Amino acid sequence: MAVNLYDSAYALETAIRQSDEYLQLQQAYKEVNEDPETKQMFDQFREIQMNLQQKQMMGQDISEQEVEQAQSTVALVQQNKKIALLMQAEQRMSMIIGELNKLIMKPLEDLYGKMEA
């Protein structure tokens, strides 16, 4: 009997949305967005993060000033309890997605063997 992979993927999406980890992430994100000062701080942090990632992906050098700005912003946002909780929830969700990705890729690894890095 053939399995419809898209049905399974939609079921996985539903399971993720109903998971405790996702619900905690959703709540933490809501709390950050409901506090204007915290939201502004978080948005600034994300903008810096995205800019640095974009530069890395394009092979551009990151200046010492940009590194220092990023480090000071990280230190500042980590002192904000709402943002710290959101970042922890994001990390847990990211770990789960990573583990799910390993499971999804396992049939191909079994077929072709693990890719050597």
Domain boundaries in the chain? 5-112
- In CATH, what number does 5-112 get? 1.20.1500.10
Alpha-carbon distance 63 to 77, whole Å?
21
What is the pLDDT at residue 115? Answer: 64
What is the pLDDT at residue 116? Answer: 60
Structure tokens at 18: 């109903």
Regions of the chain with pLDDT less than 50: none
What is the pLDDT at residue 56? Answer: 87
